[in-house]
Amino acid sequence: MKYTDLKDKSLKELEELLKEKKVLIFKLRAKLKTMQLTNPNEIKEARRDVARIKTAISALKKNNG
């Protein structure tokens, strides 16, 4: 996921996407603890996606407010 994909979305869409990514991180961490996760880099990518989404949300709020 790239930031350019996110900057055209609405605030509601971004918040929904953020919630989905946080749930994904929770599930990936559970898989990691139970030794079911084959690629630990998935957690890193999900965390970076969360950071990108949060950046897009803050930029959207700054421009609107």
pLDDT at 37: 92
pLDDT at 1: 83
Where do the structural domains in the chain lie, given as residue ranges? 3-64
pLDDT at 39: 94
pLDDT at 64: 82
Question: 7, 5, 4, 17: which is closest to 59 by C-alpha?
Answer: 7
Fold of 3-64: Helix Hairpins (1.10.287)
Residues of the chain predicted below pLDDT 50: none
Kindly tell me the burial class for residue 21, based on how many C-beta atoms sit within 10 Å of its own C-beta (0-12, 13-18, 19 or more). buried
pLDDT at 16: 97
